[in-house]
Amino acid sequence: MSRRDPAAEQDPAARRDRAHQRAHEAAGEAEGRRPAVLPDKSQAETAKRQADKGQAEIRGGLLRRHRDFRLLWCGETAGKFGASVTGVAMPLVAVSVLGASSFQVSLLAAASWLPWLVIGLPVGVWVDRSRRRPVMLASATASLTLFVCLPVLAWWGGLSIALLLTVALLAGVSAVVFQTAYTAYLPSLLAPADQPEGNAKLHGSASAAQIAGLGSGGFLTQFAGAVGGLAANALTFAVSLVCLLRIRHREPVPTRATTEIATTDTAGADTGAGPRPDKGAGGRQAAPARGRRSLTTEVGEGLRLVGGDPWLRTLALFGATSNLALMGYQSVHVVFLTREVGLAPGVVGGLIATASAGGVAGALLARRVAARVGTARATLLFELGFASCAPLIALTTDGLGVVLYLIGGCCVSAGVVAGNVIKASFQQRYCPPELLGRLTASAAFLNYGTLPLGALLGGALSTVFGLRAAMWITTAGVPLAGLVLFFSPIRHRRDLPTTRRTVAPKAARTARRS
């Protein structure tokens, strides 16, 4: 047995050197070679990253080696397919069966997104206080019940605009709960090194499901009738529910200490002074043992988390302005293509589905482009450069003019999906896992809260100025929203940060005195 030098045991520098040497030796063993003498810490970290990358390549892709992620992926893809079918079927049913006006159709879109504005913030706190998988199961069950009842009522002759609005609103409530829990659940399921691949696969499959769902929604409505188009969503939510039930991963019950934001957090920096008795896991201030705080206090923490961080604040403001413009034209584009351009419902669904194919390309490109040019530059490229083609959608006419819709729609879809892949990976690595529910809900309150406003804006503009003028105004707003990113710190960086800098020492001392 080797002997240890007592003096070296007490020397922090010696302890760090030994730790670096062990990391380097582990990396060397993983690569099947004899480790060399470690010259410095940076080389040890580089060797370990290369070893981890090599092991991931040997293991294969996530869908092949990670059973629980595969089930989550299947369930989420099925759910996105059903939601896309409904996104086309509901407006087409409202227009072709019930004779709804363009403003009434925009109300359907507004109703589905309104819950983000009303309940998004408290849902984020509730998700952080709960295990995420049971929340997702309850939400999927509620959605399944809704879309089973809707076709039944339609068969009995109860189909009306009021019924469609009610279902859209309740389904929106379920979507808020599910999406918030799902976003916060993924980091507990995947290791940090696997999260970029997981996000890319989930966003890519969601785009592919959207393509299939949008095309299917138009054809189902045209050939199977209103009930056939709306019944498809019930089957997809049943598939999603079964997949969630089969996931074996179980989360620990969140405790009081893991749901409080520590104002003196130093991102777990190692000072070389050994463990601190007043710190919890990850270097965060351990919460005192007292009763659970009020809902408004934790909601306020989530808003301060987004509003007080320049990176999260910039992305949230951009998402809000971009979604306002996106939903402005998407709330009336079915009516625009049907009445202004003069396309049949089946053609409308196929055209929208083909344009959405850009989302698959965006998901495939996101990681590659970000690795080559940097995550910050890639964000600008996708969210500002690709979005500049959006006004081509307003030029759409019958015949060869539909190509303009395809070009504009593909570019917008590619930019949005690629930007979402980069942003999701950034948030999951940048924010502590115990705060992701509040971060998701607070950011979604700003991002998705403008969606019902955008839907109402599209309906109002089309009523006052006409459908084509409304499309011109709203599609022009898509690239203009990208200026929020251009005039932000993102423009001056190659990559988005991976660790969150919290309160400065002076501010931390002030917080302790208070």
- Regarding whether 323 and 185 lie in a shared domain, the answer is no
DSSP 338: I
Q: Which of 177, 186, 117 is nearest to 143 (CA)?
A: 177
DSSP 340: I
Does residue 281 fall inside a structural domain?
no
Helix (H, G, I), strand (E, B) or coil at 18: helix
Q: Which of 182, 214, 229 is nearest to 73 (CA)?
A: 182
- Regarding whether 369 and 425 lie in a shared domain, the answer is yes
Domain boundary among 248, 273, 307: 248
The H-assigned helical ranges of 247-387 are: 295-307, 310-330, 333-335, 345-355, 358-373, 375-380
Does residue 271 fall inside a structural domain?
no
Does residue 369 fall inside a structural domain?
yes
Domain boundary among 227, 248, 269: 248
Does residue 58 fall inside a structural domain?
no
d(CA 172, CA 179): 10
Number of domain units in the chain: 2
- Regarding whether 350 and 237 lie in a shared domain, the answer is no
- Regarding whether 219 and 84 lie in a shared domain, the answer is yes
- Regarding whether 302 and 213 lie in a shared domain, the answer is no
Q: Which of 290, 284, 256 is nearest to 269 (CA)?
A: 284
- Regarding whether 227 and 107 lie in a shared domain, the answer is yes
- Regarding whether 198 and 74 lie in a shared domain, the answer is yes
d(CA 396, CA 408): 10
Q: What is the CATH number of the domain that holds 406?
A: 1.20.1250.20
Does residue 354 fall inside a structural domain?
yes
Helix (H, G, I), strand (E, B) or coil at 294: coil
- For residues 108 and 165, the answer to whether their CB atoms sit within 8 Å is yes
- Regarding whether 161 and 97 lie in a shared domain, the answer is yes
- Regarding whether 146 and 83 lie in a shared domain, the answer is yes
Does residue 123 fall inside a structural domain?
yes
Q: Tens-of-pLDDT digits for all 514 residues of the chain?
A: 444 444 444 444 455 445 545 544 444 444 444 344 444 444 444 444 444 444 444 445 788 888 988 998 888 888 888 887 887 778 877 887 788 888 888 888 888 888 888 887 788 778 878 888 899 999 999 989 998 888 888 788 788 889 999 999 999 899 889 888 887 788 888 888 888 788 878 877 777 776 677 667 767 766 766 666 677 678 888 998 999 999 988 877 766 544 444 433 433 333 333 333 343 333 334 444 445 566 677 777 778 888 888 999 999 999 999 999 999 999 889 889 988 998 887 788 788 878 888 888 888 899 899 999 999 999 999 999 999 999 999 999 988 899 999 999 999 999 998 998 899 889 888 887 777 777 777 887 888 888 889 989 999 999 999 999 999 999 999 999 999 999 999 999 999 998 776 544 444 444 444 4
- Regarding whether 308 and 422 lie in a shared domain, the answer is yes
Does residue 460 fall inside a structural domain?
yes
Does residue 305 fall inside a structural domain?
yes
- For residues 478 and 348, the answer to whether their CB atoms sit within 8 Å is no
Structure token pair of residue 113? 């997104």
- For residues 92 and 217, the answer to whether their CB atoms sit within 8 Å is yes
- Regarding whether 352 and 228 lie in a shared domain, the answer is no
The H-assigned helical ranges of 374-449 are: 375-380, 402-430, 436-447
- Regarding whether 327 and 236 lie in a shared domain, the answer is no
d(CA 244, CA 209): 18
Helix (H, G, I), strand (E, B) or coil at 287: coil
| Residue-range definition of the domain harbouring residue 357 | 296-500
Domain boundary among 248, 264, 286: 248
Tell me the β-bridge partners of 279. Answer: 285
Residue recorded with tokens 């984020």: 124
